[in-house]
Amino acid sequence: MKFKLIYPRWSKLFTQTEFHLPPHGPVVFAASLPEYVEVDFIDENLQEIDFDDPVDFVGISMMLTIQIKRGWEIADIYRKKGIKVIFGGISTMLHAEETMNHADSVFLGEAEGRMEAVFSDFQNNRLKKKYDYLEDHPPIEIVGTARRDILQRDLYNYRGIQMVDLFHASRGCRFNCYPCAVAYLGGRKFRPRPIEKSIQELESIDNNRLFIVDNSLAQDEEWEKDLFREMIPLKKKWCSHPIQDKPEVLDLAAQAGAWYVYQAVFDTSDYIRERIKRYHDHGILVEGTILLGMDNHTEEDIKRLIDFLLEIQLDLAEFTVLTPFPHTPAFRELHQDKRILSYDWDDYSADKVVFQPKHMAPEKLQELLKYAWDTFYHDEPQPVKMFKLFQHVIEKEKADNTYRPRKRDLANYAFGKKIR
């Protein structure tokens, strides 16, 4: 059976350097499909959909809220042709009711152990309108190695440099942060995969550079240390969300190949300053994720925060504005207080102000977002900082003889005419 799995396109943040990472949700999902299903994967960010290509069944996998309107359009085209469409993925779960208007079926939750039944229903013409497993997580032990073979790997590069592969070692998160939907999507219980399964998957990835996409590795210190210990012999280099902030953990992380971490920087405290320093002391770079427009942010606070980021020498920073995605505490509160200004999901790109900030006009926050990008990257533009990030990983790879020169030499990329 030919199953076309589509990942709808979206626009990158207005100031962000344009590059594309191989998607993770679709390759994890594909591993749960019955063997008789032949998957034809299309990442619409990089490939065109051939709507005339004969196909039995279409799946639309959506991660971001800004993918959903395009996902609906694609489904409408196929359904007009009489081809059935099923939706899944994170933003399907966040926008399930609306998505059902464009779907033959929506799948909510984690796919492992469920797809035999769904595909059998499809073949017997009894597909359900909704499969809801949001609160019924499959045993974490059955999560298999992602099907990266469905990707057209050569498409995922930045100026000739191969992009990282995405991998996950756990699901769920113990926390329930204000702007985040993970508690709704993956539950409040941290669910680590068995370490041997994670290592098996890591060994199968033909790429030395990875992005460990777990919500936060800083959830179970013993598990985290065991994982890092087992990763050391693999000599992979990786970035991730935060790591437990203890010298012993950071030391093991560095030995296991930690390259850089994404770290939320929400204030100008000594706690943050010292945390960033500890990462740096262990040879781990830091990309700050900076959310502007929280209720405690005045214009002055935001300007001070940007100066602080330069003082603590963050290696990269990504600025976004608070965006009230459905099923987050932020959405519940702002919706209830009638502070949401737009419910057009195409505006939910995290670089457009869609709510009424507490201490300023929406236009002022929009202006401050631009100010943040311009100021942080004024003396050293983003491509230069990215070059330094790549230079750092190359140094690490050279140190343990894992460096494999890419198609295009990094020096050409940096010092030729490539940086604009």
| Contacting residues toward ligand SF4, per CB under 6 A | 173, 175-177, 180, 182-183, 215-216
Find the shortest distance in angstroms from Cβ 292 to ligand SF4: 16
When the beta carbons of 180 and 394 are compared against ligand SF4, the nearer one is 180
Find the shortest distance in angstroms from Cβ 262 to ligand SF4: 10
Residue 237 β-bridge partners: 209
Quick one: which of 213, 212, 210, 216 has its CA closest to 190? Answer: 216
When the beta carbons of 108 and 182 are compared against ligand SF4, the nearer one is 182
When the beta carbons of 297 and 396 are compared against ligand SF4, the nearer one is 297
Find the shortest distance in angstroms from Cβ 295 to ligand SF4: 17
Return the SS3 of 161.
strand
Quick one: which of 312, 262, 307, 309 has its CA closest to 287? Answer: 262
When the beta carbons of 175 and 415 are compared against ligand SF4, the nearer one is 175
Find the shortest distance in angstroms from Cβ 37 to ligand SF4: 31
When the beta carbons of 180 and 199 are compared against ligand SF4, the nearer one is 180
When the beta carbons of 188 and 398 are compared against ligand SF4, the nearer one is 188
When the beta carbons of 173 and 256 are compared against ligand SF4, the nearer one is 173
Return the SS3 of 258.
strand
Q: How many CB atoms lie within 10 A of CB 416?
A: 10
Find the shortest distance in angstroms from Cβ 327 to ligand SF4: 12
Return the SS3 of 253.
helix
Rounded alpha-carbon distances, angstroms, from residue 91 to 98, 176, 215, 267, 361: 11, 18, 16, 29, 29
Return the SS3 of 316.
strand
Find the shortest distance in angstroms from Cβ 67 to ligand SF4: 19
Q: Which two tokens stand for residue 159?
A: 């100026």
Q: Cα(365)–Cα(319) distance, rounded to whole angstroms?
A: 12
Q: Cα(414)–Cα(420) distance, rounded to whole angstroms?
A: 10
- Only one residue has tokens 């991998």, namely 167
Residue 240 β-bridge partners: 212, 261
Find the shortest distance in angstroms from Cβ 419 to ligand SF4: 33
Q: Are strands 170-171 and 191-192 parallel, antiparallel or unpaired?
A: antiparallel
